[in-house]
Structure 1
Amino acid sequence: MRIALTHNLRLSDLEEEAEFDTQETVNALAGAIERLGHRLERFEVSGPASRTVARLEAYSPDLIFNTAEGRRGRFREAFYPALFDELGFPYTGSDAYALAITLDKQLTKLILAKHGIRTPGWQYVEKLSELTAENLHFPVIVKPNFEGSSKGITQDSIAETLEEVHEKVTQALAKYPAGVLVEEYISGRDLTVPFLAAVDNDYDGVLSPVEYVMDPATTEGRKYQIYDYELKTKHNTAVRVRAPASISAKTAEDVRKMAQTIFQVLDCRDLGRIDFRLSDAGVPYFLEINALPSLEPGAGIYAAAELDGLHLDGVINSIIQSAAKRYKIKDSARRQGKPARKTGPLRVGFTYNVKRVKPTVDASEDSEAEYDSPATLQAIREAIASWGHEVVDLEASPELPSVLASTPLDVVFNIAEGFKGRNRESQVPAMLELLDIPYTGSDPATLSIALDKALAKKIVRQAGIHTPNFQLMITGKERLNKDFTTFPLIVKPVAEGSSKGVVSKSVCHSEAELREVVKEIASKYQQPALIEEYIRGREFTVGLLGERRPRVLPPMEIVFLDKEEKNPVYSFQHKLDWTDRIRYDAPAKIEPALLERLRTAARGSFMALGCRDVARIDFRMDDKGRIYFIECNPLPGLTPGWSDLVLIAQGAGMDYRGLIGEIMAPAIRRYKEREARRAADEQPPAKVILEKSAQEKAAGEEKSGNGHHGTPAPVSGDPRTEPKPS
């Protein structure tokens, strides 16, 4: 089968990502699925849903293996299953309804209470004024109502008096305003009961209870033996799973029967996990259910499954087979009763400029610095082909217009830099638009604007984003703007990329130096020079993927290592040889507030410039923490292991093939939209056909009294593949 693994990747230790999957978990799941003989693609779904939809539509999986938790809101776990249902894709796990209910601890308890399931006493609180706790037995535990992974649960969550309850509820509501649960604390042990629907046993797939055993050395001094957030994150090695749980056969049977009822009542599918508290008196109490349980290596579901002879691959296979059975997916891996989707291969044109002249480190030769080496081109070809597509090479030479007009193509993957002038990057996309061929990347207008750094700054500044003060000089004799009150200033070509023209002497400390550098740039590059304020401070670059609501990848920081260099700049020399001179921190080691400011500035710049599919945006931060837009590259380099965007993607847990697939997915979506429009245009509405037929019949009868005269000219060829008129 073609399987898509949808997940949220944990990139930090922030609590908001506590339920996300680590890279280790994703690799373990992917490895198991591939060992089972399936074709797999990884889909990290953080970011705009439109990007996920485009990629899924492009890949068209037979089944989605879903572990995505969602990022925000009370219905976050339900979001992606609801989306998959709308798109018509089969997926593993419970549906949106079950996930929404089970994430709500209060609602789950209310439903189960009607079926005789024993739970600790509780009160749900959305406002402090609602808190009474009159009928609860102390101590009680205060926990978020809509969180998992023990988020919000610490040793301080337990209250022994009414006064403490008010204090802890106030604190909890401040952090979790959606509502908190005040629940009687049951002294005892933690049991968990996993569920695999495909396992044939007397309990409809409910596995044997397993037990969490805490290391006494770690928990010494703790008043309450609870599996709290600190144990799940900082001291996770201090907790092991005992399988089976050390309980009597009668207790094990009671717990499994109780779990069986719960899974059936809540309509959980394929897999799940229920947490119980076994009191000191041996009485089991339901605590909560997780219909989207962790599948990280070492999780309780694997320990319980081993008792039934299933190891990791067997657990993953049982989940897949359970979902395949529900959706009636046969071994042929085709969905039954679903509309056919075009999965490929597509004919993907690959437009590029090949680097034949190697740049020199001193920047005396940089004419083809923006072009791509044969090794980079081969890496991109292989990545495109790995998605099942046919790649057609199209070097951006003067012959390209005639080649494009005579070559059948579905989409084009474009990295061509063009020939000359400040509109050079827009030349190939403009030709593709003329021929109505969908392509990757931004349109001609955005590419032209972004290459002109001064014009880009004007637009970004209008969007409310800081830019350094700047000025253009054509000859070096122009008057220097009054905005420049102090040196140093930095000088660079206005319409070049890959740091061309940016060298150590680009940072000028006097007006005489500045005018000399301007003259050199104007002479060498035949274009105006851009003069900017030099922003002292940290340098960041941010990658973005998607269309109208792009996914912002974690920023990368360019760290300058030479402490004696007072005014460092990310120069042409750095990009050719960065060993021992700079360090790339991907992702950047920054606090959440700065991360959010960078994301906002990057997204705002991307949208202001009208970027599409992919871009990389550079920023500097001054000593006051202000973020300054430096430039935008909507046609960023894609050299494996070297280009900034590739390093950024690696830091976000995305491999090279995945990055190329992400860039390509929106273009494939646009291709499908174009085909749908063409199909609609070729088929006139039924009423028009009937009216035309009646008119032709009447005209024919008037002329000859019987039938039609003449035969319409036959239409030959596929309008998609026929050469287009010039």
Structure 2
Amino acid sequence: MTDRLHVAVLMGGWSSERPVSLMSGNGVADALESLGHKVTRIDMDRDVAAKLAAAKPDVVFNALHGTPGEDGTVQGMMDLMGLKYTHSGLVTSVIAIDKQLTKQALVPHGIRMPGGHVVQSESLYAGDPLPRPYVLKPVNEGSSVGVAIVTEGSNYGNPIRRDAEGPWQHFDALLAEPFIKGRELTVAVLGGKSLCVTELVPKSGFYDFDAKYTDGMTQHVCPAQVPDDVAQAMMDMALAAHQALGCKGTSRSDFRWDDTQGVDGIYLLEVNTQPGMTPLSLVPEQAKHLGMTYPELVQEIIDEAME
């Protein structure tokens, strides 16, 4: 056990992922207290800099999800304040939250990602940007917020109707990608190594925000029942992405795998630089599979931030 530290746990905020961040942050804070650390819990508002300055922590555990806690904004503020903090820094956060920038950073490193391009939502009412089926998603939201799978039979219309509920009603621009059929898998990276592969099997339909954070809606198969070469390829790809983006602490890479294609069917969808730390979250689950308790996981993330 390292020395007793004063840790400020930054959570909440005002993104669509606020409830998840509060669960993550309180879980982390409880774990830190169980380890004997002094903890100041900060629910982020516009006075966050003043609250951090008043707290004078040794280190900040950044348990925010989404903007502005995961997009480089809060990282830049903490850099200016001279604070140590967990997870990735400013530049990495700016790139990784933007799915298009992530592609530009990773594809040249030989990491397979779906093709696609950014479209203006307004253009969708005139016609499809890609052959159906395809996926539309916000460029910089996490947790499957605002993802739509547009199929031949989907009730969005053809072309998409203005009154059809979907991300086009909430975002001016969207990323359009070919739909990769197959299975949803994820790999966490911690301390410079990949942990394992988890398969996510939603009880119904698609692994969306509700499926992610509602107990019992998604089955986590950990470790995933996939061929050894496929698991190893995903773990290698997740570590390569973590390193190429310059991630710190822990990250989680999400994949689609077309299981008719073997290793060639693996596609990296995105890299989460501040993955969830809730009781249902995937990183704690993978760490537990490898024999690491939740408090030990939290401590390892703090240790890396203190180096």
1:4 aligns with 2:8: yes
For the residues of structure 2 that align with 1:172 and 1:139, how far apart are their CA atoms?
16
Aligned residue identity for 1:212: L
Partner in structure 2 of residue 246 of structure 1: 225
1:301-320 Cα shifts (integer Å, max 9, x gaps): 11211232112111101101
**Structure 1 residues 231 and 210: CA distance shift in structure 2, 3 A:** same
For the residues of structure 2 that align with 1:24 and 1:174, how far apart are their CA atoms?
28
Alignment TM-score, normalising by the size of structure 1: 0.38
Aligned residue identity for 2:212: K
| Offset of residue 68 of structure 1 | 2.1
Match for 2:175 among 181, 205, 210? 181
Match for 1:319 among 297, 301, 307? 301
Partners of 1:5 and 1:64 within 8 A in 2: yes
For the residues of structure 1 that align with 2:180 and 2:161, how far apart are their CA atoms?
18
Aligned to 1:77, the other structure's residue is in SS state coil
Partner in structure 2 of residue 78 of structure 1: 72
Aligned to 1:7, the other structure's residue is in SS state strand
Partners of 2:183 and 2:258 within 8 A in 1: yes
Partner in structure 2 of residue 263 of structure 1: 242
Partner in structure 2 of residue 107 of structure 1: 101
For the residues of structure 1 that align with 2:96 and 2:18, how far apart are their CA atoms?
15
Match for 1:305 among 265, 287, 290? 287
| Offset of residue 120 of structure 1 | 1.8
1:575-607 Cα shifts (integer Å, max 9, x gaps): xxxxxxxxxxxxxxxxxxxxxxxxxxxxxxxxx
| Offset of residue 76 of structure 1 | 6.0
For the residues of structure 2 that align with 1:143 and 1:286, how far apart are their CA atoms?
15
- Identity within the alignment, %: 30
For the residues of structure 2 that align with 1:160 and 1:238, how far apart are their CA atoms?
26
Query: Which consecutive residues of structure 1, in runs of 5 or more, have no partner in the other structure?
Result: 11-15, 198-203, 326-726
Match for 1:289 among 243, 251, 271? 271
Aligned to 1:148, the other structure's residue is in SS state coil
1:213 aligns with 2:201: yes
Partners of 2:71 and 2:93 within 8 A in 1: yes
Partner in structure 1 of residue 216 of structure 2: 237
Query: Which consecutive residues of structure 2, in runs of 5 or more, have no partner in the other structure?
Result: none
| 1:298-377 aligned within 5 A | 298-325=280-307
| Offset of residue 97 of structure 1 | 1.4
**Structure 1 residues 294 and 286: CA distance shift in structure 2, 3 A:** same
| Offset of residue 122 of structure 1 | 1.2
1:268-321 Cα shifts (integer Å, max 9, x gaps): 111111100111313211111111111111211112112321121111011011
| Offset of residue 210 of structure 1 | 0.9
Partner in structure 2 of residue 140 of structure 1: 134
| Offset of residue 143 of structure 1 | 1.4
Aligned residue identity for 1:35: S
Partner in structure 2 of residue 329 of structure 1: none
Partners of 1:192 and 1:210 within 8 A in 2: yes
For the residues of structure 1 that align with 2:294 and 2:280, how far apart are their CA atoms?
9
Match for 1:53 among 49, 53, 58? 49
Partners of 1:271 and 1:291 within 8 A in 2: yes
**Structure 1 residues 62 and 168: CA distance shift in structure 2, 3 A:** farther
Partner in structure 2 of residue 28 of structure 1: 27
| Offset of residue 106 of structure 1 | 1.1
For the residues of structure 2 that align with 1:28 and 1:230, how far apart are their CA atoms?
20
| Offset of residue 129 of structure 1 | 4.3
User: Across the two proteins, how many residue pairs are aligned to each other?
Assistant: 296
**Structure 1 residues 70 and 122: CA distance shift in structure 2, 3 A:** closer
Partners of 1:33 and 1:313 within 8 A in 2: yes
Aligned to 2:185, the other structure's residue is in SS state strand
Aligned residue identity for 2:7: I
Partners of 1:128 and 1:166 within 8 A in 2: no
| 1:662-677 aligned within 5 A | none
| Offset of residue 167 of structure 1 | 1.2
**Structure 1 residues 141 and 127: CA distance shift in structure 2, 3 A:** closer
**Structure 1 residues 3 and 84: CA distance shift in structure 2, 3 A:** same
1:47-83 Cα shifts (integer Å, max 9, x gaps): x1xx2222222221110011123656xx863211111
For the residues of structure 1 that align with 2:65 and 2:288, how far apart are their CA atoms?
26
Match for 1:152 among 146, 161, 169? 146
For the residues of structure 1 that align with 2:98 and 2:23, how far apart are their CA atoms?
29
Partners of 2:12 and 2:64 within 8 A in 1: yes
For the residues of structure 1 that align with 2:62 and 2:117, how far apart are their CA atoms?
33
1:396-430 Cα shifts (integer Å, max 9, x gaps): xxxxxxxxxxxxxxxxxxxxxxxxxxxxxxxxxxx
Aligned to 1:317, the other structure's residue is in SS state helix
Match for 2:185 among 191, 205, 226? 191
Partner in structure 1 of residue 16 of structure 2: 17
**Structure 1 residues 272 and 71: CA distance shift in structure 2, 3 A:** closer
Aligned to 1:265, the other structure's residue is in SS state helix
**Structure 1 residues 109 and 86: CA distance shift in structure 2, 3 A:** same
| 1:347-426 aligned within 5 A | none
Aligned to 1:68, the other structure's residue is in SS state coil
Aligned residue identity for 2:209: Y
Partner in structure 2 of residue 429 of structure 1: none
Aligned to 2:118, the other structure's residue is in SS state strand
Match for 2:85 among 72, 82, 91? 91
**Structure 1 residues 269 and 174: CA distance shift in structure 2, 3 A:** same
For the residues of structure 2 that align with 1:274 and 1:32, how far apart are their CA atoms?
24
| 1:591-670 aligned within 5 A | none
Partner in structure 2 of residue 703 of structure 1: none
Partners of 1:193 and 1:259 within 8 A in 2: yes
> Over the residues paired in the alignment, what is the CA RMSD in angstroms?
2.6
Alignment TM-score, normalising by the size of structure 2: 0.87
| Offset of residue 250 of structure 1 | 0.8
| 1:437-452 aligned within 5 A | none
| Offset of residue 24 of structure 1 | 4.4
| Offset of residue 110 of structure 1 | 2.0
| Offset of residue 159 of structure 1 | 3.1
Partners of 2:25 and 2:277 within 8 A in 1: no
Partners of 1:159 and 1:165 within 8 A in 2: no
Match for 1:65 among 40, 61, 64? 61
